[in-house]
Amino acid sequence: MRKIALPQQGLETLYGAHDGNLKHIESVLGVQIRTHGDELIVDGDKAAEQRVERLLDQLSSLIAEGYELKNGDVKTAVQLVANDENVDLRPYFLREGQKQPEGTRRRVNPKSTNQRRYLEAIERYDIVFGVGPAGTGKTYLAMAQAVSYLLAKKVSRIILARPAVEAGEKLGFLPGDLQEKVNPYLRPLYDALYDMLDTERVARYIERGTIEIAPIAFMRGRTLNDAFVILDEAQNTTSEQMKMFLTRLGFGSKAVITGDITQIDLPTGRMSGLIEAMKVCGGIEGIEFVQFDDRDVVRHKLVQQIVKAYEAFTAGGGARPSASSGRAEAARDVPADAGRPETERREPARSASAARGEPVEPRA
């Protein structure tokens, strides 16, 4: 058992609503915690107690340095300590002095080691690939960096591109003009943008051309100077599209390419431009690849388990059934007259002997 004294400042946020953060610490680090004023009494094995003490000491130091804990910060810190007991939390929460960029709606911090590597790579390299499963923050963090660069006047515009590919379904012909037709495919980029900047500011930037959101097909023939360019859902680009995009980069620009190679929606037989680029550009100096995995998932806790389950299924040789085979299996399980009224359904065929009322000998 160990007693840990805490500063009064930020204590409420540290504990969380209804002690939610303390319960999370108990669950993840395997201890029992009781509160006694501004003291915590931690009970568990020695190693677990030391982890809790190290976690709370570092959070207290952050608060003392003027860092204001936000919702989710404590849970992020707990996960970092759980993955590495010797982790230093300061680089995650106090990057570049960690001041929220003026004009933005929220401060964005890395929530895992790979996310931190990703942000550092974007700062160091002009072309960065972020590859990994859904929910790992690839697009969101890239967008946060783009907004930060724009507001700091490191670039003069942001260009966001995405291939217009349906996710396994045919949408047919969408109504409206060209912009209205492609907007549904670009909605996720708008969502991330509105999460960081107020609506009026986004509208103003888009109207002036400071922020441009367009399908990747619109990139052909252009040279993108002094811009922060993000290509999202890159796994759905063709080889030709990826080569075209990578050769658009001009002076003073950065490009971030994000994608998940387990969710390719291209027609069967088409090579993903992202997979090809990983092979072709892997040895080029100045281009960095950051791989994410299930430990980096920052969505609902079940998303992490779903990602792991699918990875295990794929590694075990599980094959996704095709639509035709799925329909065939379903058809075998449904009677041919299942859709008819009960009075019209056929009775099972009977032998001639049974029809005449004669006894039928059982088959050997």
pLDDT of amino acid 276 = 95
Rounded to the nearest integer, the mean pLDDT of the chain is: 79
Summarize pLDDT for 282-294 with one digit per residue, the tens: 899 999 999 998 8
Return the higher-pLDDT residue of 362 and 313.
Answer: 313
Start and end residues for every CATH 3.40.50.300 domain found in the chain: 104-328
Distance (Å, rounded) from C-alpha 202 to C-alpha 194?
7
Does the pLDDT value for residue 280 go beyond 90?
yes
74 secondary structure, DSSP code = H
Q: Answer for the pair 17, 74: CB distance below 8 angstroms, yes or no.
A: no
The pLDDT tens digits for 51-110 are 888 898 888 888 887 787 777 788 888 888 888 888 888 888 876 544 555 556 567 778
Q: How many CB atoms lie within 10 A of CB 248?
A: 21
Which of helix, strand or coil describes residue 262? Answer: coil
**Tokens in use for 343?**
């009075």
Q: pLDDT band at 198, cuts 50/70/90?
A: confident
Instruction: Cite the residue boundaries of each domain of the chain with CATH code 3.30.1370.10.
Output: 1-99
- Residue 3, pLDDT above cutoff 70: yes
Average pLDDT, integer, range 147-165: 89
Q: Write down the pLDDT at residue 338.
A: 45
Question: Averaged over 199-212, what is the pLDDT?
Answer: 91
- Coil vs helix vs strand at 137: coil
CATH class of segment(s) 1-99: alpha beta
Max Cα-Cα span within the chain: 97
List Cβ neighbours of 93 (8 Å cut-off, separation of 6 or more).
62, 67, 73, 77, 109
Contacts of residues 206-209 at CB distance under 8 Å and 24 or more positions apart, as own/partner, are 209/157
Burial class (CB in 10 A: 0-12, 13-18, 19+), 316: exposed
**pLDDT at res. 218:** 81
In this predicted structure, the answer to whether residue 361 has a pLDDT above a threshold of 60 is no
Residue with tokens 């300590």: 81
Is residue 135 very low, low, confident or very high in pLDDT (cuts 50, 70, 90)? confident
Average pLDDT for 163-180: 58
Phi then psi dihedrals of residue 136, to 5 deg: -95, 5
Q: Is the pLDDT of residue 169 over 70?
A: no
Mean pLDDT, range 238-249, rounded to an integer: 93
Q: How far apart are CA 295 and CA 78, in angstroms?
A: 13
CATH fold of 104-328 reads Rossmann fold (3.40.50)
Convert the pLDDT of each residue in 11-66 to its tens digit.
Answer: 787 888 888 888 888 888 889 998 887 788 888 888 888 888 889 888 888 888 77
Name the residue with higher pLDDT: 353 or 297: 297
pLDDT over 50 (residue 134): yes
Residues 297-340: tens digit of each pLDDT: 876 668 777 877 887 887 776 544 443 444 344 444 444 444 44
Question: What backbone torsions phi and psi does residue 115 show, to the nearest 5 degrees?
Answer: -65, -40
The reported pLDDT for the residue numbered 131 is 96
d(CA 363, CA 152): 87
Q: What is the pLDDT of residue 258?
A: 95
